[in-house]
Amino acid sequence: MGVEGGDDVRLARVRLTRIVEPGWEVAGQWLREFGAVETVRRIEAGGTEEPLPGVRAGRWEGLVARAADAPPAERDLTRAAAAGARFVCPGDAEWPGQLDDLGDGRPVGLWVRGGPNLRMWALRSVAVVGARACTDYGVRMGASLGAGLAERGWVVVSGGAYGVDAAAHRGALGATGATVAVLACGIDRIYPRGHTQLIDRVAEQGLVIGELPPGDHPTPSRFILRNRVIAALTRGTVVVEAAYRSGALGTVRWAQRLGRHAMGVPGPVTSSVSAGVHELLRKEAVLVTDAAEVVELVGEMGELAPERRGPVLPRDLLPTGAARVLAALPAHGVCSVAEAGRGAGTSQDETIGRLYELRSLGFVERHGDGWQLTRQAIESVFPGGELF
């Protein structure tokens, strides 16, 4: 997708963030066909010229009215600068190219608060999203993923909301890592208000970004549209706890639509909060349980998660012949050499040799002509006194 340059274009795009809603593809078509400066000029001209194509009369009147009420672009830039923010748009060196995958629905521009370079950070980033009304399990998993990804050098992107989002941000911050909060309101207007301290910490240690101009308020539709930016900005999206109608699922669906990795953390099958995640996992999403598994999926070749296996028991280290003889002995009581040999399918001489081998390792003991498992073998090797 082509880009424009120049101060006039930047000012026009700043102004458009006041006039059009995020993600409106009709406005994206205007920007592609006419450019930002001409698009703004036509809207501000109002009834003196033909409306731009693809919009109904009522909608066009609304855009013209918005333009008339909107403050000058310079005022928004000044207000943003007072909050420590800047405006980044297509054509800037800091613009993340992966947002162009949204086509005509890509942001007009982004308001960015914080010191790091957004484009560089987005190159190695993962989204962690989930339920606002999450359980303690969701909080633990969100924080664990945030910390684990940060420790591995990945940027954690989320929406700054209550629940899993906040846990992921805090996990990354606690690991002195990188995190980005994507807001559905102006970057100088914290929502939810209870997260003022958290968002300020993110801005100090990472980045706070959004499409809405300074002072703008969030709406339900803006939260939904915000999710496309989270998905497009990152290499993949992990969802932790989401019910069937959770907004977090929308982020994962955007990730799938854009060809990004879609991942889900399973929860109890009886939990309604995880029902949406489980439905995703039954389809295209990949099951992950920790940061290492996420990185294995989204990272470079060779960034593999450790092989998962149960604990190694003493009997696992025995030679095959000795293990067969050990398995032939009853959990309780004495067993003759002949009985042990029949159970193991070995000759008498081999059985005797294996029994003495097992004795030296502390697995069995001899009682007259019979053999039996030691208390150590029963209690330590076979938990609960069971062979299997």
> DSSP readout, 96-155?
-GGGGGGGGGS-S-EEEESSS-HHHHHTTEEEEEE-SS--HHHHHHHHHHHHHHHHTTPE
CATH of 109-298, one of 2.20.25.90, 3.30.70.20, 3.40.50.450, 3.30.1700.10: 3.40.50.450
- Check: CB of residue 325 under 8 Å from CB of residue 340: yes
Per-residue pLDDT averaged across 189-210, rounded?
94
- Lowest average pLDDT, out of 67-81, 130-144, 176-190, 295-309, goes to 295-309
Beta strands across the sheet bearing 364-367 = 335-336, 370-373, 364-367
**Residue range(s) in the chain whose domain bears CATH number 3.40.50.450:** 109-298
Per-residue pLDDT averaged across 174-181, rounded?
97
Q: What is the pLDDT of residue 388?
A: 42
> DSSP readout, 274-327?
GHHHHHHHTTT-EE--SHHHHHHHHS-TT-PPPPP--PPPGGGGS-HHHHHHHH
- Say if residue 10's pLDDT is above 50: yes
How are beta strands 286-287 and 335-336 bridged, if at all? unpaired
Q: What is the pLDDT of residue 3?
A: 52
* pLDDT > 90 fraction of the chain, expressed in percent and rounded: 72
Segment 88-131, tens digit of pLDDT: 999 999 999 999 999 999 999 999 999 999 999 999 999 999 99
Segment 42-65, tens digit of pLDDT: 999 986 778 999 999 999 999 999
Q: How far apart (Å, rounded) are the C-alpha atoms in residues 160 and 30?
A: 31
Q: What is the pLDDT of residue 203?
A: 96
Q: How confident is the model at residue 362 (pLDDT cuts 50, 70, 90)?
A: confident
- Say if residue 162's pLDDT is above 60: yes
**Residue range(s) in the chain whose domain bears CATH number 1.10.10.10:** 314-385
Q: What's the CATH code, domain 314-385? A: 1.10.10.10
* pLDDT > 70 fraction of the chain, expressed in percent and rounded: 93
